[in-house]
Amino acid sequence: MKSISLYLKRNLYFILSIFALFSTVVLAVVLLLVLDLSRDVSKTSVGFIYLGASEVSDYESVLAPRIAQWQDTADYTLTYQEYEWQIDLTHFEFDLNQTLTEIKENQNNDAYFTLSEVNRDLLISELTEDLTPLIISSFDEDSFLSELENDLRVLKNRKSYELKDYLDAEIASTTIDQVDMDDIPVDIVSEISSVLSEFVISAQSRFYLIEALDTYSLSNEALSVIASALQYMTVKTPVEGYIYQEFDERPIWSGLGMSARVLALNGYDFSFFNPRQEEMRVTIEVLDTNTLRFTLKGYPFLTTYERIIELGPTIYYHVITNDNPLLNELSEGVIITDTETETIYEVVIVTGVHGHVTYIKRRVTPLGGTYSDYTLFYEQMLPVDQVIEQNIVPKG
């Protein structure tokens, strides 16, 4: 018992020292935790660039390289139809001083940029060098640059701008093609013009003429006139996938590349697919009692679409010979052929005319590219057979 008491006395100071050290460490940890948790975490940033872990004096050294890197890698584009132009953000100069001046702690802040007049002209020139004068004159540069600068301030990494959003509204009614169809029966001109002055071809969808004009209760011939006008005008557009029936015998108002027959009850419709993101409109105007003017309107195309008429193979006529024993040298228009054994009297009753195949093609020329031709339709002009009457008289 005495030995235990002696042992405790000898080690008491050591035990007290260990306890004091342990208590000090625990107290220090608790104080650190309490102090750390009570301090607010800074939420200061510029766009996606976090500044909360940096001292205010270090903001400049953090922002400058990160902004430069962002300008090199951010993907900003201007698009129109199937074309896209890269927007060079290096035309904009990062305004470090204004950015630092405007920073407010514990919130997300804007980055500020300047665009000199020289760089503005360069930027607009780069983005419009492929555009037509009509589109350039319609382009609201100020509105576009204002939206672009707003997106730059928040340091968006990717943005695509639709050019048509910055064009005057009137450009959506640019004439794409036009055709005057004459020799239309008076009653058909009246039927169409009394109920219909325009209709829409929707974007990125298949167009069905019967469905589009169903509410007007037009006759088959009236629908056929409209379908034939559409067949002609849409050659100068990118529409595709035509579905239609040709006339066996063309009406008097029909023409080359204008021969689409509509029979609603038989399911003979006129249809095609519009791949564009923009709708088109067709307007109809009466020129006189037998003539209608059809105009296809929409946004102008940068790709050029042309109508090419190409003559194909000849379809040769046949000669039909009929015997006429009454023909002689006194017959009107007679052609006499003498041989050693017979005399042949011939009269041409119907002069033969060769037929041919005609191809209606679309020539597509992209910006800066070479053209390609695509056959959309072909039409046959059937031959007129030659009819001859003949009398062969043997000699001797």
pLDDT tens readout for residues 274-283: 999 999 999 9
Q: Is the pLDDT of residue 34 over 50?
A: no
CA distance 326 to 65: 107
Same domain? 83 vs 142: yes
Same domain? 265 vs 318: no
Closest CA to 42 of 63, 29, 56, 57: 56
Find the domain containing 84 and state its range: 55-167
Reduced to 3 states (helix: H, G, I; strand: E, B; else coil), residue 230 is helix
**Three-state DSSP string of 81-140:** CCEEEECCHHHCEECHHHHHHHCCCCCEECCCEECCHHHHHHHHHHHHCCCCHHHHHHEC
In a domain, 26, yes or no: no
Interval 283-333: pLDDT, tens = 999 999 999 999 999 999 999 999 999 999 999 999 999 999 999 999 999
CA distance 149 to 112: 9
Domain boundary among the residues 121, 147, 167 is at: 167
In a domain, 40, yes or no: no
Q: How far apart are the first and last CA of the chain?
A: 174
Q: Is the pLDDT of residue 131 over 60?
A: yes
Same domain? 297 vs 375: no
CA distance 124 to 394: 90
Q: What is the pTM of this model?
A: 0.80
Reduced to 3 states (helix: H, G, I; strand: E, B; else coil), residue 272 is strand
In a domain, 160, yes or no: yes
Same domain? 132 vs 153: yes
Same domain? 327 vs 290: no
At 55, which amino acid appears? E
Q: Give the other-Cβ count within 10 Å of 95's Cβ.
A: 14
Distance of CA 385 to the CA centre of its chain: 47
Judge contact between 149 and 95, C-beta under 8 A: no
In a domain, 151, yes or no: yes
CA distance 190 to 250: 21
At 276, which amino acid appears? R
Same domain? 268 vs 242: yes
In this structure, what token pair is assigned to residue 347?
A: 């009269």
As separate numbers, helices (DSSP H) first and strands (DSSP E) second, the chain gives 9, 24
In a domain, 102, yes or no: yes
Judge contact between 340 and 278, C-beta under 8 A: no
DSSP assigned state of 40: P
Same domain? 185 vs 281: yes
In a domain, 64, yes or no: yes
In this structure, what token pair is assigned to residue 245?
A: 């029936």
Domain count, the chain: 3
Same domain? 181 vs 293: yes
β-strand 335-338 against 280-288: which pairing, if any?
unpaired
Same domain? 182 vs 296: yes
Same domain? 261 vs 332: no
Looking at every residue in the chain, the average pLDDT score rounds to: 91
Q: Is the pLDDT of residue 271 over 60?
A: yes
Same domain? 279 vs 296: yes
Reduced to 3 states (helix: H, G, I; strand: E, B; else coil), residue 369 is coil
Q: Is the pLDDT of residue 148 over 70?
A: yes
In a domain, 49, yes or no: no
Interval 166-179: pLDDT, tens = 999 999 999 999 99
In a domain, 46, yes or no: no
Domain boundary among the residues 243, 273, 301 is at: 301
